[in-house]
Chain A
Amino acid sequence: MTGEAAQEPEKVIEVEDLVAHYGDRLILKGVTMDVRAGEIMVIMGGSGSGKSTLLRFLMALETKTSGRMSILGRDIDTLTSREFTELRKKLGVAFQGGALFSSMTVGENIMLPLYEHTDLDQMTMEIMARMKLEVVELGGFENLMPAELSGGMIKRAAFARAVVMDPSILFCDEPSAGLDPAVASALDDLILNLRDAMGMSIVVVTHELESAFKIADRITILDRGHILMIGTVDEVRNSSNERIYNLLNRVADNDTLDPDEYLARLTGEDAATWSEPL
C-alpha cells in the first residue's frame, strides 16, 4: 500500500472473507486480513464492534460459517484434530481476565502447558516457570494463588503462561483494560519486549487508543462486524473516514443498533454457550 519492499513479508495468519454467525445473527461480515511475522497487529473498534469475537475466530475457538483461514501456513479446515492440537501449542493467549486456574498456584499455572506437552522433568519446568515470571517481573510469586494477586499481576502471570511454550503467535485480549495508566503502560512495554526479545507475532485487541498507538505496527479497525481499515498508526490517524474519526476522537456514535445484536457481540454470550460438548 505504501511502496513496501518487493518481498512480501511472511504471513502467520491469513483470513479471507470470514463470515460468522451466532445462531441466526450475522456477527462477522466478510473479514479479510492478515498478520505478518514479527509484527504487532492491534484490532480496534467500539464496544460491540466484534473485535473480541474476531479474536476468538483468529484463535480458532469458534466455527466460522464461511471463508478461509490459515494459521502459520496451515489451512485450519484441513487439519486433523491431532494436527490442530499441535498447531495450538504454537499459540499463546493472555485473556482479558487472566483466566488463571484458581485451584493452582501461579507457578503451577505457568508450568501447565509444559507439563501437558513436554517430557521435561519437574525441576526444569520449575526453572522455566521462574524464568518466565522474571520476564514479566513477577519473580518470587510462583507459590502464591491467583486470588492473592492484584489485577495487573494476574495479567502479567497470564502473559507468563501464554509465552511459556515460546509460541509463534501471542493473542492478547484487552491487556490494559481496568488497569491504572502506569500499570497499563508497563504492560504495553511488556508486549513490545516480548515481540523484540522473542520475535513473536502479537495480535492485541484493545479499545485503549494510547496503548494501541504505542504498540501497534498495524491497526485493524473493526466496525459492526466488518473491517473499516487496516493500516499503520499514521495511516489510521490521518484517515478521512468519518467513523474512524469518531472512534479516535471519542465522538459518540448516534446510529442505532439492535440491542440483541449488540449484547451478543459485547458479551460473546452465544459463542460461549456450550451447546456443543467440551
Chain B
Amino acid sequence: MAGARKPGAIARFFERVGRSTVHGIEEVGNGGVMVAESLYWTFLGFTIKQPVRMNAVIQQMMEIGISAIPIIALLGGAISVTLAIQGIYTLRIFGAESHVTAGLAFVVVREFAPMITGILVAGRSGSALAARIGTMKINQEIDALKVMGISPVRFLVAPPLIAMMIMVPCLSIMSAVVGLFLAGIYINHDLGISLSAYTDQIIDILKVEDILQGLGKSAVYAVEIAVIGVVNGAGVSGGAEGVGKATTRSVVQAISAIIVTAMIIVILSTL
C-alpha cells in the first residue's frame, strides 16, 4: 500500500463513469439474453419436455392485466378528459375547437394510452416483479431452482414476460377506448357535438396503422418493463434494503425507458 498514489478527482470521476457505462451495457446485454432465452423456452421448451407453465402465465395475466383495469381506466379517462379540455382551450384561440377530436384521437391512441398503461404497469407489476425475484434470490430460491435442474428463466421470467406482452396492449386498447369515450362526453357537454358524430369523426380519422403503432409501442413497453424488473431483481444484494432499492430503481428505469422509447419511435416514424 505504501507509496501507492491515490487517483485524483478527475480520474475517479472517469473511473465511475466508465464503471457505470460498463455496468449499464452489461445489464442491457443480460436483458437481451433473458428475452432470447424466454422466447426459446416459450416456443421450443415443449420439445425437450420443459414448456413454460401456462398456469403461471394465466396467473400473471390476471395480476398484471385484470387487476389493473380499474386504475388504468380511471387514469386513461382522466388524461383524455384533460387533453380534451386543454385542446379545446388552445384551439378556441384560432376558432378551431371543433377539430379537437382529430388531435385527441391521434394523441390518445398513438401516445398516451400506451404510455399511461406502460407507466402504470411499470409501477404496479414491474416493481412487484423486481421485488419478487430479488426476494427469491436472497432466500436462495433461485439457487434451489438451478440445483433442481429447473431453468429460472423458464420458471420465473418467461411467464410474466408473455403475460405482459399480451396484457399491456390489451390494457392500452381499453385505456384508449375509455379515454376517448369520457373525452367524448366532455366534448358533447362543452361543444355540443353529439356522441355519435364524435364517434364517426374518430372512426374516420384513425387509420389501422395508428392503432398498430399504439399496439406496437405497448408491446415494446411490455418487454422493457419485464426485462428491467427481472434484471434489477436479479441484481439484488444486501438483504431487504437491497430489494427495496432494486424495486425503486426498476420503476424509475422502466418509466424512463418508456418515455425515451416513445420519443425515439415518434422520431423514427416521422422520418
Are A and B co-members of a single complex?
A: yes
**Across the interface, do B143 and A274 meet the contact criterion of CB distance under 8 Å?**
no
Check A93 for interface membership: any CB of B closer than 8 A: yes
A59 at interface (Cβ–Cβ under 8 A)? yes
List of A residues within 8 angstroms of B144 by Cβ: 93, 95, 99, 101
Asked if A91 CB lies within 8 Å of chain B CBs, one says yes
Closest chain A residue, CB of each to CB of B132: A103
For residue B147, which residues in chain A have a CB less than 8 angstroms away from its CB?
Answer: 59, 61, 88, 91-93, 171
Q: Please tell me if B8 contacts chain A, counting CB pairs below 8 Å.
A: no
> For chains A and B in complex, what number of residue pairs have CB atoms within 8 angstroms?
79
A82 close to chain B: CB less than 8 A: yes
A242 within 8 A of B: no
A278 with B148: in contact, given A61-B143, A82-B48, A273-B237 (CB under 8 Å)? no
- Surface stretch bound by B, among A111-119, A229-237, A248-256: A111-119
| CA gap between A276 and B37 in the complex, in Å | 13
A171 to B33, CA, bound (A): 30
Q: Are A99 and B237 in contact (CB under 8 A)?
A: no
A93 to B143, CA, bound (A): 9
- Indicate whether B34 reaches chain A with its CB closer than 8 angstroms: yes
Complex Cα distance A88/B230, Å? 24
Query: A278, B235: Cβ atoms under 8 Å?
Result: no
Of all chain B residues, the one with the shortest Cβ separation from A87 is B149
Count of A interface residues, CB-CB < 8 Å:
31
Q: Which residue of A lies closest to B141 (CB)?
A: A99
* 0 or 1 for each of A27-66: is its CB under 8 Å from B? (1 = yes): 0000000000000000000000000000010010100000
Chain A 247-278 residues near chain B, CB threshold 8 A? 269, 272-278
The answer to whether residues A97 and B140 also contact, given A61-B146, A116-B150 and a CB cut-off of 8 A, is: yes
Could you say which residues of chain A place their CB within 8 Å of the CB of B152?
A: 278
Instruction: Please provide the chain B residues from 148 to 197 with a CB less than 8 Å away from any CB of chain A in the complex.
Output: 148-153, 156-157
Query: Which residues of A are interface residues toward B (Cβ below 8 A)?
Result: 56, 59, 61, 82, 85-86, 88-89, 91-93, 95-97, 99-102, 112-113, 116-117, 171, 269, 272-278
Q: List 7 A-B contacts (CB under 8 A).
A: A97-B140, A99-B143, A100-B141, A112-B150, A171-B147, A273-B237, A274-B235
- Which B residues contact A (CB, under 8 angstroms)? 26, 30, 33-34, 37, 48, 50, 135-137, 139-144, 146-153, 156-157, 230, 234-235, 237-238
Known: A96-B140, A278-B234. 5 other contacts (CB 8 A): A61-B143, A93-B144, A95-B140, A100-B141, A272-B137
